[in-house]
Amino acid sequence: MEVTRLTHYFRIKKMVALLVIGFCWAHKTGEWKHKMIKPLRVKNHGRLEKNLFRYGLDHLTDQLMSGALDALETSRLLLLFLCPPDWLEPTKSTNGHGFSIVDF
C-alpha cells in the first residue's frame, strides 16, 4: 500500500474494490472460455496449463486492447461481467465468437 501512496481509508477501500471487480470479471471470463470456447489442456500432474484467472485476463486484454471491438463482442464481455458464465453459450457462427443467453 505504501507504493500507491494512498493513506486515506476510503481511497484504499475504492482501490481494493476495483481490484476485486477486475479479478472477478477476469475469472468469470476464464471460466466461460474454458467451458464454452476452448478448454484448457490438463498437464501430466493433473493441473490446467493456465489458471482460469490468467486465461480470462488474457482474453479480456486481447479483446479490449485490440481496438477493433464490434458490438457483439462488446455486449458479450459486458454480459460476462454482469451474468454468471453458465448463462452464456456459444452459437454456431462462422468465426466461433457468437453467443446466446440460455433460456431457463
Give the per-residue pLDDT at 2.
Answer: 57
Give the residue-averaged pLDDT of 43-71.
85
Q: Which residue has the cell 500500500?
A: 1
Full residue range of the structural domain in which residue 85 is found: 9-101
The answer to whether position 15 is within a domain reads yes
> Cα 102 to chain center, whole Å?
18
Percent of residues, the chain, with pLDDT higher than 70: 71
The answer to whether position 3 is within a domain reads no
- Cβ count within 10 A of residue 59: 19
The answer to whether position 2 is within a domain reads no
For the whole model, what pTM was predicted? 0.69
Q: Return d(Cα 35, Cα 97) in angstroms, integer.
A: 14
Please tell me the total count of domains within the chain.
1
The answer to whether position 4 is within a domain reads no
